[in-house]
Structures are given as C-alpha cells and as structure tokens.
C-alpha cells in the first residue's frame, strides 16, 4: 500500500543553491527525491548533506547530453515506474542556449497527477524584453510549436556568432540567458497544451543568492526554493496550469 501512495520527484541541477534547497524541502514532505547533477562527485556530496532528512538518492544527469537523458529516463522507469514531480532547475549563464529542460522527462511515465515546475526568470518574460524578434515569435501562442522554438534558438545562435544581435532585434544584454529563459517559458506553454491533465508552470524564485547572480541576491536559496516547492505540492484537480509566477504572484509570460 505504501508503494502505491509513494510520491517521487526529480530535481535537475540540484547539487547546490536553489536546486539543493528544493530537494531538502520536498523530502521533508515525505517525497522520495532524485537529486541530479552533471558532476557525480558534487551530486553525491550533496546527497550526503541531506542524509537523515528523508529519502534522497543521486543520479547523474546532463540536460544537454541526449545519452545522459536516455540513461536517466531508463533509470526512472525501471526504479520507480512513474514520476509525480519534475522540477527543472538546471540553468546556464554563458553564450550557449539549450533546449528546454522540460524535455528531459519526455519519455518518463508520469503519474496522473504530475506536476512540472520550470524554474525560470523574469528576464525571460516578453513584457520585460522590448526587443522585437523574441516577441514576434514567442507571442504567437496559438501557433507555437517545439519546431518553431528550435528554429528560433538556431536563428539566435547564428546571429550571436555573426555579432548581429542588436541589428536583428535581439536583446544585447545578458542575451543568451534571457533567450534561453524566454524559450523555456514558451516550452512551458506548449507542454501545457500537450499534457492537459498535468499541472505545468514556470516560476521566477526572485532575486536569490546564486552563482548566476554572483551572490548579490536578496533572498536565500531556501527562500527562493519555496516558490517552486509551493507549485510542486499544489493539490491535484484544483491546480493552475500554464502560468508564470513571480514567487507566488501570477504574471504574464
């Protein structure tokens, strides 16, 4: 009976900061948490720090490596047979744009009440991006597809390499980070339409002390994690889906 009611969660990029805090808070709710990280040593060290707080296990995962994603999804299928919560926290800060981490679990068998939470940033919101090109593509919600977003990212990378971001209507400040988060927000909306029975949302945790913010944030990782954990633990059946939140406040994409 316990096995039937057990809940399983995956948190990507979880060996430190917000991801680590999310794992800590989820496991305190009695959820079995799979803490993932690119670096096996750091991931195992993170799990050791959570020892005694609940059931946390480590599995290596690089969200930019298809082989790593395949190995991980096979592990979830064979070990648990389902997944209840996926928190996509893995992020980037350099001049490399990756596809949405939400696709990590594309082949995982989710439970019927699954929650997917994409940890994003207000810098990826279209109303905070006056540049023409992102709005032109990503505001067309009805016609958004994964293929269009892939083309959008490829176009950005081409213009980035050619040094023509500003002339082509792209953001020129923190461009890679902002475009990657805008694309992640767009994938959130696509996945919501694709999986209407799931609860799928994006959330900005606020200005948190992390490596990406050079530890200049106003919030601790534990405080930042609360926003994602709240969405992950919403009751099934009455949960909002397809929305963007700044902490607990709903905002336009």
Residue numbers annotated as active site: 177
- The total number of residues shown for the chain amounts to 253
Which two structure tokens, joined as six digits, stand for 75? Answer: 């592990």
- Residue 67, burial from CB neighbour count under 10 angstroms (0-12, 13-18, 19+): exposed
Residue whose entry in the numeric block shows the structure tokens 């490829």 = 154
Residue whose entry in the numeric block shows the structure tokens 């002339």 = 167
Say if CB 145 and CB 190 are below 8 A apart.
yes
CA distance between the termini of the chain: 41
Order of strands across the sheet that contains 56-60: 56-60, 32-37, 8-11, 83-88, 110-119, 199-204, 244-246, 249-251
Which one, of 85, 124, 119, 101, lies nearest residue 227 by Cα? 119
Residue whose entry in the numeric block shows the structure tokens 């064979």 = 78
DSSP assigned state of 64? T
């Amino acid at each position: 009976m316990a096995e039937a009611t057990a809940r399983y969660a995956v948190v990507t990029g979880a060996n430190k900061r917000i991801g680590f805090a999310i794992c800590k808070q989820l496991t305190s709710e009695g959820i079995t948490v799979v803490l993932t990280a690119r670096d096996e040593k750091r991931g195992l060290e993170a799990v050791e720090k959570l020892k005694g707080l609940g059931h946390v296990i480590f599995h290596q995962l690089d969200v930019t490596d298809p082989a790593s994603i395949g190995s991980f999804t096979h592990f979830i299928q064979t070990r648990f047979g389902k997944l209840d919560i996926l928190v996509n926290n893995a992020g980037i800060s350099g001049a490399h744009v990756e596809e949405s981490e939400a696709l990590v679990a594309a082949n995982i068998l989710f439970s019927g009440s699954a929650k997917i939470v994409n940890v994003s940033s207000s810098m990826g919101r279209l109303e905070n991006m006056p540049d023409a090109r992102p709005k032109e593509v990503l505001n067309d919600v009805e016609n958004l597809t994964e293929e269009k977003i892939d083309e959008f990212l490829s176009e950005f990378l081409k213009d980035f390499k050619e040094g023509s971001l500003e002339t082509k209507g792209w953001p020129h400040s923190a461009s890679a980070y902002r475009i990657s988060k805008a694309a992640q927000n767009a994938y959130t909306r696509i996945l919501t339409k694709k999986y209407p029975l799931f609860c799928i949302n994006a959330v900005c945790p606020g200005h948190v002390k992390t490596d990406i913010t050079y530890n200049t944030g106003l919030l601790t990782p534990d405080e930042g994690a609360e926003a994602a954990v709240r969405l992950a633990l919403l009751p099934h059946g009455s949960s909002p889906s397809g929305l963007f939140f700044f902490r607990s406040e709903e905002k336009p994409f």
